[in-house]
Chains A and B, each alone.
Chain A
């Protein structure tokens, strides 16, 4: 597991394209957004959505700013969004590549082999588990491809990163299709 964590570490500055598919009980079909994730030196995270609309979210320390096209930027505190701080903490620990840092807040489980693996993070604190049931990272060799965040009471959100972000999705993508895609290591 240590080797895997070390191999998927992405110390800043790092950039990846992403596709995010979000299912919601409010929606008849899932929302799909595309864009780019940036991890800056100094720790700030930027999520740049380019399709189907333009939105730039920057998280720097406790400060979150959201800028949408044609609107003044909005600012809020990371603390004011329940669960987000914990979630980002998990990502930052994985990107940092340190098993100890990840295991401080999460129970880790690894399935599969080096060519075809699934890393599961479950929050240790009951507080954090109110917002996140688990985070599953799927990948092939040293490349993570799918990140699936499952909240305890809502549908999961699935993010395809790195080479997987170039995948053509069926229209509309179903949860089942995406699960298979991720399980197969993003064929």
Chain B
């Protein structure tokens, strides 16, 4: 190709890549929603779990504590902070203990007669009212007088006080200076619900920044400090830690890669050229994912580029196989059958993830397959036209020659392969450690001191057990409320027996319409009530006409439609009801949260006896089932992919024996990795599986090239050079990842670098053609 032609091609290639890059930059939405990486729910419990995990009000709750100053200063801080947060639309609800649940709007107050249990057993007749009024007189001369006096004219039977008592959580933080404090009295506590879901790290980040800003603007003294805990705070912290490490590792990796390629090929131009297929691959992969999916998860990006690392091998094969005198195009033609087999077989392996049922993994597969195909094709058709003429031929390298003859002299230890395979299988069968990691939390573990602190705050604030809860399903809100109400006596019995310490359900705040109507029907009409009251008040020192507001409220209550959850919007009860009664598409879900669970079988029995109305949801168990269930699907997909891989390689090589020689290193390596992880008591997770597939793809590539080596000693040296550069560079990149402190990155790093070593060694030992005398 002429110099002018080369220049035009370079400009066109770089230009098209840049244009695609622009398209990606304009259209690609990077999402931080971790649920993209969770499997599609298959059962009702799994569906509930995913809704719970990401959307429930409980998961949006941040537990906030203020400390570092005297209780008075902290209380003042808490008040000012809560005031500022309430005015900010980023926060759905703020509670600091100062706001009473009983602060109900005036127009809802007549509902007390439909909500209180008084009318279930009593009637507003003369006897009942007389006894109540005598008690009120005693109240007026008791220490409670100041609290009760303003209510007595309107509510002489104190229904509202009974409701407020019933609404008090079974356990809540102590109040000092009007706000919540921890037991030691050194931290003021608040609960803040964010508008953003817990698993939306970007939304959480904005909320957290606003939180800190309001805190700084409102704190009563500079020495007051802020601690924030809760799922949202954790997801944000983990995002930062992951990003920091990826940025750091990415820089180290890129620099060392460039250095290695310069050492290997002694030309900056070549190194820049070698980066082009990878750059095209990345941009094309992103463009297709953004066109097909609209948004892509940040993790897909991070892992996608990691997995795309295989594509860096393609230009290396082209560069290392060049012969002095021959055009790069001729080299490309000669390595293409082997290279193409490698590309296709790796793509097939990733096909498995396309059927995984996890959107994040489907994106990952789509991105990688498109990327690998583009990298392969540009290496074959574009790059050779730009590679400068060759002076040095690795086929003439003396040290590579010596190395190759040593390798040739090595035995072909078929027995060793069998022995190692048997050894690995023994380790896998006999080990006692769990083979799989089902605990999602272990993927992004939160430091122990932070979970301890979260637990402590949760306990102080009386937040419920976050692992187990009871779930009631129904077609309408009232159906769920009625079913929950019917369960209350059974739950009360569990509390009395000590099987659970307490529970919280929507029925505590909102009786069903049926119960409300029954109580309404028990209210006397205006004339009857007036007569009973007049008789009851006779002889008592109350002022005349004092109880007119009472008569008015009862008359109003007789005409009210039953109270619903919606009518409580913008009252202090809303947060409670919203977290206990959830509206889904076409159905309603009631949650009964539990605390102090001591007898799980008792709860299971309660659920079993409910005839399907009630489910006991164990969030930890359900999430582990979900992961296990997802893994079974992925393993099946992988098994099918493995078969397809065998068929593809067999077809390409047209020989079962050659096919077996190519896949043997990869199969052995996979066994070795599995056994090593198992022996090291490191249970496998999803990311190990992704990394295993990557390692297998690398192994197939190495083996294919070693298998394809001809008798020509120069060609043998070129292949050795190519595979050496490939494996050293890959080992280096993933070796750095293995040093990471984040389990996800470490899982990938350890698996792949171990895979590179084993694959390289076994490909040399098993796959190279038998030396002919």
Task: Determine, out of B144-152, B187-195, B406-414, B438-446, the stretch whose residues face the partner at the interface.
Answer: B144-152
Asked whether, in the complex, the Cβ of A154 is within 8 Å of the Cβ of B146, the reply is: yes
B633 lies within 8 A of chain A by Cβ = no
Q: Given A55-B142, A81-B143, are A27 and B174 also a contact pair (CB < 8 Å)?
A: no
The main secondary structure of chain B at its interface with chain A is: mixed
Task: Determine, out of B487-495, B541-549, B736-744, the stretch whose residues face the partner at the interface.
Answer: B541-549
Question: Nearest Cβ in chain A — how far from B156, in angstroms?
Answer: 10
Quick one: closest B residue to A54, CB to CB?
Answer: B138
Asked whether, in the complex, the Cβ of B174 is within 8 Å of the Cβ of A22, the reply is: no
Asked whether, in the complex, the Cβ of B146 is within 8 Å of the Cβ of A83, the reply is: yes
B176 lies within 8 A of chain A by Cβ = yes
Question: Nearest Cβ in chain B — how far from A98, in angstroms?
Answer: 22
Asked whether, in the complex, the Cβ of B141 is within 8 Å of the Cβ of A33, the reply is: yes
Q: Given A29-B541, A53-B138, A79-B174, are A24 and B146 also a contact pair (CB < 8 Å)?
A: no
Asked whether, in the complex, the Cβ of B146 is within 8 Å of the Cβ of A57, the reply is: no
Within the complex, which residue of B141, B146, B543 is in contact with A31, where a contact is CB–CB below 8 Å?
B141
Residues in A with CB closer than 8 Å to B137 are 31
Question: Nearest Cβ in chain B — how far from A66, in angstroms?
Answer: 7
Give the contacts of A7-43 with B (CB-CB under 8 A). 20, 22, 24-29, 31, 33
Asked whether, in the complex, the Cβ of A82 is within 8 Å of the Cβ of B141, the reply is: no
Residues in B with CB closer than 8 Å to A33 are 141
Asked whether, in the complex, the Cβ of A82 is within 8 Å of the Cβ of B142, the reply is: no
A127 lies within 8 A of chain B by Cβ = yes
Quick one: closest B residue to A24, CB to CB?
Answer: B140
Question: Nearest Cβ in chain B — how far from A94, in angstroms?
Answer: 18
Compute how far the CA of A79 lies from the CA of B173 in the bound complex, rounded to whole angstroms: 12
Q: Given A27-B542, A28-B542, are A82 and B140 also a contact pair (CB < 8 Å)?
A: no
Can you list, as one digit per residue, whether each of A168-186 has a CB less than 8 Å from chain B (1) or not (0)?
A: 0000000000000000000
Quick one: closest B residue to A33, CB to CB?
Answer: B141
Residues in B with CB closer than 8 Å to A55 are 138, 142
Within the complex, which residue of A25, A29, A79 is in contact with B175, where a contact is CB–CB below 8 Å?
A79
Question: Nearest Cβ in chain B — how far from A131, in angstroms?
Answer: 7
Within the complex, which residue of B135, B144, B546 is in contact with A26, where a contact is CB–CB below 8 Å?
B546
Compute how far the CA of A9 lies from the CA of B508 in the bound complex, rounded to whole angstroms: 49
Compute how far the CA of A33 lies from the CA of B140 in the bound complex, rounded to whole angstroms: 11
B128 lies within 8 A of chain A by Cβ = no
A151 lies within 8 A of chain B by Cβ = yes
Q: Given A26-B149, A79-B175, are A31 and B140 also a contact pair (CB < 8 Å)?
A: yes
Question: Nearest Cβ in chain B — how far from A170, in angstroms?
Answer: 16
A68 lies within 8 A of chain B by Cβ = yes
B153 lies within 8 A of chain A by Cβ = yes
Compute how far the CA of A83 lies from the CA of B177 in the bound complex, rounded to whole angstroms: 11
Compute how far the CA of A74 lies from the CA of B142 in the bound complex, rounded to whole angstroms: 13
Compute how far the CA of A170 lies from the CA of B143 in the bound complex, rounded to whole angstroms: 25
Residues in A with CB closer than 8 Å to B175 are 79-80
Question: Nearest Cβ in chain A — how far from B167, in angstroms?
Answer: 14
B positions within 8 Å CB-CB of A: 134-135, 137-138, 140-147, 149, 152-153, 174-178, 541-544, 546
A positions within 8 Å CB-CB of B: 20, 22, 24-29, 31, 33, 47, 49, 53, 55, 57, 64, 66, 68, 77, 79-84, 127, 131, 151, 154, 157
The 7 closest A-B pairs by CB, nearest first: A31-B141, A27-B541, A33-B141, A29-B541, A28-B543, A22-B141, A28-B541
